[in-house]
Amino acid sequence: MVNSNIVARTGNEAMAEAMRQINPDVVAAYPITPATEVVQIFASYVADGLVDTEFVPVESEHSAMSACIGSAAAGGRTMTGTSSQGLALMAEMLYIAAGLRLPIVLADVNRALSSPINIHCDHSDTMMVKESGWVQIFSENCQEAYDNMLQAIRIAETAKIPVVVTTDGFIISHGMERMEMLSDADVKKFVGEYKPENYLLNLEKPITIGALDLTDYYFEHKRQQIEAIRNSKKVILDVAKDFAAKTGRSYGLFEQYKMDGAEIAVIAMGSTAGTAKVVVNALRKKGVKAGLIKPRVFRPFPKEELADALAGLKAVAVMDRSDSMNAHEGPLCVEIKAALFDKGVSKTVLNYVYGLGGREIKLEDIEFVFGELADAAKGKPVSRVSYLGVRE
Amino acid sequence: MSAQKKAAKPGWKELPEGDLIIGGGTAAEFKTGDWRSMRPILLKDKCINCLTCWVYCPDSAVIVQDGKVVGYDYEHCKGCGICYNECPVKGKAIEMVSEKAAKAKEKK
Amino acid sequence: MKEMTEIRWHGRGGQGAKTAALLLADAALASGKYIQAFPEYGPERMGAPVTSFDRISSGPISLHSGVINPDVVIVLDPTLMDSVDVTEGMSSGGTLLVNIERSPEEVKKIFNIPAEVRICTVDASKISKETIGREIPNTPMLGALVKATGILDFKDMIEDMKKKLEKKFKSKPEVVEGNLKAIERAYKEVKS
């Protein structure tokens, strides 16, 4: 076990602290609310000489990710941070980073996408780039934001896949919480030294990177990338195991909260999962067999594992903090249903799209969801897709 | 130029990861000479060996030995004519001829 | 005291409502509590009414929704009370702590505060002017809060503040002294 230190930090401070302790070679970033502080605080560490990082201030998020790609291709340990429109502007380069298999780590503070313009939390930004080939890890609170950042760098470098770690905008990014930090020395030991197999600045072993890949090679490279994303599940679990051995804090692909003997359960990601735990506790006290599943890793999607965890339930409610605009349901719900279908499990799955643009999600809202779930479990008709907390 | 024998391409498990090509100077294996429709011919008696063509050639296809231009690497020369255009010699030390005519002449 | 206390701060943009919430959380953390501190973000303008929040608990806090039914409400600027209902959502038996030169009885009458709300007052603006030399009511309000609610041990709190202020104002011992004096005076002078 390592020494730890109890501190009060906001989510943004927690992510910046993790970056300081990782001490990457390069950070290239452009500020955007509510993620500005992550790189602003980190820039102050650079100015104060607390890290050895080359900080590259750029003129846009597209440039930020481009610079990160250059740095990572050259062989540098590379990190950045952004949110919402910034992530959207990066989208083109996110695919390139992933396709070139560059282990960049990005701190994304979840924020709604325009239009209408809004600075508050929902998951539309992260969901917009869910197909880009990045591992996506959601954090419930400041502690998880910090822990996930430390694990992300090892996941990225082992799997050769870039990783995005998200927190919920303002709720976590600007909310101060009690958390445990590792010592600088322990983080250094945990993340280790980055030794890329191939990199542009290696004069002993020259390479070409990003060559034109037409009909004869593109498919093979993509197939390879798909396999790497599949295999990254194991990498994520291995890193989590090592992290748990050192800190006592366990992580998996998803968290199961009071799922033993549960008959109904809510599936929710990010900070809402924490609020849902309060409701689950209250329901359990009343004798309701309620549980919660909190997906931590959305990409790769833990399909088989989740289907197994859901198999014994009577009914499930999937809470989506964004919508797919597919004219049926939210992105998490789509994935859950596909997982259940392939498992041959037919189950009542309710979908609740909630919290768009930072709309408050209260205990009563989640109580309402559990109420509907209990009705659905008894076979009462309940709307399959609901928009929770919207004015009708 | 003789047609290259088609080798079986590697499957996705054999390829280096991340759209990488391992090793340096791999462009040499990529023969672009058959793209050419106009061929540069060196006129040795006019050439002043200023090496301007060598500097400008985008395909490194000007062959220089002991500081002197000795000819062109027709396996890689695409026939772009930049060497001809940049040649500072009055009346030009390079002649651009039709590839078709040059080939016909070679066969005779 | 119940397991978790929820606190709402009312101030105007620039008055330090957010800083006060963070300071309190930090002090609570130092005494072994679990904490949350967060501001409410809207369009921020200097002088506009703003709120910030604290949750202080003996156990881990997983709740991430806003504070709707605060146990304690602190008003840094009483001029807000004409336009903002500072008692909104207050749980019965909750404490309202106001930075004002008036007595709790006067506040109750003037602002028509419901009977079930316990009112405490302290002139933190005057205290801060006399001790720190500027009107910074948020630090003395921490002292008043501790007295009014018993949420933290006063000795622990003042020790922790001393440590933090000494670290922050290394070259300005007068600032440290002024702030500590402000907290102590507010602790003593708060009326209920």
What tens digit of pLDDT does each residue of A34-58 get? 999 999 999 999 999 999 999 999 9
| A332-361 mean pLDDT | 96
Question: Given an 8 Å threshold on Cβ–Cβ distance, is A363 in contact with C65?
Answer: yes
What is the spatial distance between Cα A88 and Cα A96, in angstroms, rounded to a whole number? 14
Question: Given an 8 Å threshold on Cβ–Cβ distance, is C63 in contact with A278?
Answer: yes
Does C17 have pLDDT greater than 80? yes
* Same-domain check for residues A213 and A269: no
C-alpha to C-alpha distances, A149 to A164, A181, B74, nearest whole angstrom? 9, 12, 54
pLDDT digits (tens, 9 = 90+) for A252-305: 999 999 999 999 999 999 999 999 999 999 999 999 999 999 999 999 999 999
**Closest residue on chain C to A34 (Cα):** C41
Q: What is the ipTM of this complex?
A: 0.90
The answer to whether the beta carbons of residues A164 and A108 sit under 8 Å apart is yes
Could you tell me which residues come within 8 angstroms of residue C146 by beta carbon, excluding any fewer than 6 positions away?
Answer: C152, C153, C154, C157, C187
Cβ-based neighbour number of residue C171 at 10 Å: 5
Question: Given an 8 Å threshold on Cβ–Cβ distance, is A177 in contact with C63?
Answer: no
What is the spatial distance between Cα C80 and Cα A147, in angstroms, rounded to a whole number? 41
pLDDT digits (tens, 9 = 90+) for A11-25: 999 999 999 999 999
Return the pLDDT at B1: 41
pLDDT digits (tens, 9 = 90+) for C98-115: 999 999 999 999 999 999
| C109-137 mean pLDDT | 95
| Number of domains within chain A | 2
Return the pLDDT at A366: 98
Nearest-neighbour CA in chain A from B31: distance (Å): 16
- What token pair was written down for A123? 């998951």
Does C2 have pLDDT greater than 70? no
Question: Given an 8 Å threshold on Cβ–Cβ distance, is A275 in contact with C63?
Answer: yes
**Closest residue on chain A to C19 (Cα):** A176
Question: Given an 8 Å threshold on Cβ–Cβ distance, is B20 in contact with A223?
Answer: no
Q: Which residues in chain B have Cβ-Cβ distances shorter than 8 Å to A102? A: 18
Cα four-point dihedral sign A281, C7, A40, C31: negative
What is the spatial distance between Cα A35 and Cα A11, in angstroms, rounded to a whole number? 10
pLDDT digits (tens, 9 = 90+) for C26-39: 999 998 999 999 99
Question: Given an 8 Å threshold on Cβ–Cβ distance, is B17 in contact with A224?
Answer: yes
Q: Which residues in chain C have Cβ-Cβ distances shorter than 8 Å to A363? A: 63, 65
Q: Give pLDDT < 70 ranges for chain B.
A: 1-5
What is the spatial distance between Cα B83 and Cα B99, in angstroms, rounded to a whole number? 16
Nearest-neighbour CA in chain C from A4: distance (Å): 15
Does C45 have pLDDT greater than 90? no
Return the pLDDT at C1: 45
Is A109 touching C (CB cutoff 8 A)?
Answer: no
DSSP assignment letter at B34: G
pLDDT digits (tens, 9 = 90+) for A76-132: 999 999 999 999 999 999 999 999 999 999 999 999 999 999 999 999 999 999 999
Nearest-neighbour CA in chain A from B22: distance (Å): 5
* Same-domain check for residues A235 and A260: no
- A27: CATH: 3.40.50.970
- Top CATH class of C4-189 equals alpha beta
**Closest residue on chain B to A95 (Cα):** B18
What is the spatial distance between Cα C38 and Cα C22, in angstroms, rounded to a whole number? 8
* Same-domain check for residues A90 and A181: yes
* Same-domain check for residues A206 and A103: yes
The residue among C24, C31, C34, C65 with the most chain A CBs within 10 A of its CB, best to mutate, is C65
Is A272 touching C (CB cutoff 8 A)?
Answer: yes
Return the pLDDT at C47: 79
| C70-81 mean pLDDT | 96
pLDDT digits (tens, 9 = 90+) for C165-183: 898 888 899 999 999 999 9
What is the spatial distance between Cα C46 and Cα A51, in angstroms, rounded to a whole number? 35
Domain of residue A200 covers 4-247
CA C142 to chain centre: 5
* Same-domain check for residues A20 and A152: yes
- What token pair was written down for C86? 């500072």
Does A236 have pLDDT greater than 90? yes
- A304: CATH: 3.40.50.920
C-alpha to C-alpha distances, B93 to A370, B31, B33, B69, nearest whole angstrom? 87, 26, 21, 11
Is A176 touching C (CB cutoff 8 A)?
Answer: yes
Question: Given an 8 Å threshold on Cβ–Cβ distance, is A217 in contact with B21?
Answer: no
Q: Is C65 left (phi over 0), alpha (psi -120 to 50) or beta?
A: beta
Question: Given an 8 Å threshold on Cβ–Cβ distance, is C62 in contact with A141?
Answer: yes
* Same-domain check for residues A140 and A278: no
Return the pLDDT at A386: 97
C8 beta partners: C53, C73
Question: Given an 8 Å threshold on Cβ–Cβ distance, is C64 in contact with A363?
Answer: no
The residue among B9, B20, B32 with the most chain A CBs within 10 A of its CB, best to mutate, is B20
Q: Chains that contact B by 3+ CB pairs under 8 Å?
A: A
For residue C142, give the nearest of C34, C16, C48 by alpha carbon.
Answer: C16
Residue B62, classed as helix, strand or coil, is: strand
Nearest-neighbour CA in chain C from A138: distance (Å): 15
Nearest-neighbour CA in chain A from B48: distance (Å): 36
What is the spatial distance between Cα B9 and Cα C107, in angstroms, rounded to a whole number? 85
| A366-372 mean pLDDT | 98
Q: Which residues in chain B have Cβ-Cβ distances shorter than 8 Å to A104? A: none
Query: Considering A222, A247, A272, which residue would you say is the last residue of a domain?
Result: A247
Question: Given an 8 Å threshold on Cβ–Cβ distance, is A101 in contact with B17?
Answer: yes
* Same-domain check for residues A29 and A176: yes
Query: Quick one: CATH architecture of B32-101?
Result: 2-Layer Sandwich (3.30)
* Same-domain check for residues A218 and A263: no
Q: Hey, what amino acid is at A18? A: A
CB pairs under 8 A between A and B: 55
Question: Given an 8 Å threshold on Cβ–Cβ distance, is A274 in contact with C64?
Answer: yes
What's the pLDDT band for C43 if we cut at 50, 70, 90?
low
Return the pLDDT at C164: 86
Q: Is C14 left (phi over 0), alpha (psi -120 to 50) or beta?
A: left
